[in-house]
Amino acid sequence: MSSPYLVIRDASLDDLDEIYKIEKESFPDPYPKGLLKAFLFFPGAYLVALSEGLILGYAIGVVRYETVGHIISIAVSKEKRRSGVGRQLLAKSVERLRLKGVQSVRLEVRESNVEAIDLYKKAGFLAEDKIEGYYVDGESALVMYLSVK
């Protein structure tokens, strides 16, 4: 499928309802809306991708320490997947974190989430660790890193 014409911009409070809708359809254990809101005030890159004014996806990246970035979450609305939105959101998040002085970017992903793992590997992330029982249902997480020095 071809990529829709995308605008990627900083998220704002007005985007929260749409972000939360995508969050709920994307994860078995969605973040509460209040937490999605709180991340707007963290240093980093909280981005939304839009086409024709509609939010298709979002990515939350934060600066954890001066040189370490963390992709907290990335999701694309179900009907808009597989058209390059996730790839573009991830690339932009990493670039924004790099411009803030980050030298490596970390993320956790369910070990069964082959779609996301493939997305991250194609962006250059390497699985360097595993955290047993990381998620509430007991599934383990792969910890992936990307050097952006």
**Residues engaged in binding ligand COA (CB under 6 A):** 26, 74-76, 81-87, 109, 113-116, 118-119, 122
Residue of minimal CB distance from ligand COA?
A: 86
C-beta closer to ligand COA: residue 51 or 113: 113
Amino acid at the residue 135: Y
C-beta closer to ligand COA: residue 101 or 133: 133
C-beta closer to ligand COA: residue 87 or 100: 87
C-beta closer to ligand COA: residue 102 or 107: 107
User: Which residue has 């320490």 as its token pair?
Assistant: 65
Cα distances (Å, whole numbers) of residue 139 to 12, 22, 110, 132: 32, 22, 7, 7
Q: How far is the CB of 144 from ligand COA (least distance, A)?
A: 9
Q: How far is the CB of 41 from ligand COA (least distance, A)?
A: 22
C-beta closer to ligand COA: residue 57 or 63: 57
77 closest CA partner among 86, 68, 69 = 86
**Token representation of residue 113:** 């989430």
Q: How far is the CB of 78 from ligand COA (least distance, A)?
A: 8
Cα distances (Å, whole numbers) of residue 8 to 28, 129, 138, 143: 26, 31, 34, 26
Q: How far is the CB of 88 from ligand COA (least distance, A)?
A: 7
Tell me the CA end-to-end span of the chain in Å, nearest whole number. 33
User: Measured between alpha carbons, how far is 3 from 44 in angstroms, rounded to an integer?
Assistant: 26
Q: How far is the CB of 5 from ligand COA (least distance, A)?
A: 14
User: Measured between alpha carbons, how far is 41 from 38 in angstroms, rounded to an integer?
Assistant: 6
